[in-house]
Amino acid sequence: MHAGIYLSVFTYIYIECHSSTDQSFIAFLCLYGSVKATIDRYKKAHACGSTSGAPLIEVNAQQYYQQESAKLRHQIQMLQNTNKHLVGDNVSNLSLKELKQLESRLEKGIAKIRTRKNELLASEINYMVKRELELQNDNMDLRTRVHLYKIDVCRRKIRIYFFLCINN
């Protein structure tokens, strides 16, 4: 019965992940390995108690799930501790070796962050230089137009002056 549920979940996950992007499919493959391992462990737990009957299977399954739950709680606790260490909390109980390893990880992370920041800044600088050139060209065009307009105004004034001189 439980294997059928796992198979249904597996099929659903397969369909959902396989119809998505390659990255989701990779996530599916990782999850599939976990689900497959869980199903295999479940089958082994049930195989051990198959001669004794259903109560032994239920006891084995319960023990298995308790063990899995304990493993998952431990993994969650480890991840929370790692996260706390990465933000600088809860480091007073770390040894010198652990502190050096943490420092090394943080320095590598900072180096990646700085590299990305520098890439973005360089891109922004390139954009600004390009925009500056565009604005300078626009400014030159406007100056030329203003100059031509002034010349045109002067020519009109001269025409008007000559017209007035001739008619007077």
Q: Supply the mean pLDDT for the chain.
A: 79
- 163 vs 143, which has greater pLDDT? 143
Task: Indicate the pLDDT class of residue 116, thresholds 50, 70 and 90.
Answer: very high
Contact by Cβ (8 Å): 60, 41:
no
Residue 45 burial (10 A CB sphere; 0-12, 13-18, 19+)? buried
> What pLDDT score was predicted for residue 137?
97
**Mean pLDDT value of segment 95-102:** 92
> For 50, which DSSP code?
T
Tokens 């397969």 belong to residue: 14
Q: What tens digit of pLDDT does each residue of 29-74 get? A: 444 556 667 667 667 766 655 455 456 677 788 888 999 999 999 9
Contact by Cβ (8 Å): 64, 44:
no
Q: CA-CA distance, 130 to 137, in Å (whole number)? A: 11
> What pLDDT score was predicted for residue 62?
87
Contact by Cβ (8 Å): 17, 28:
yes
Is the per-residue pLDDT at 166 higher than 70?
A: yes
**Mean pLDDT value of segment 146-151:** 96
Residues in the chain: 168
Task: Indicate the pLDDT class of residue 92, thresholds 50, 70 and 90.
Answer: confident
> What pLDDT score was predicted for residue 104?
94
**Mean pLDDT value of segment 145-160:** 94
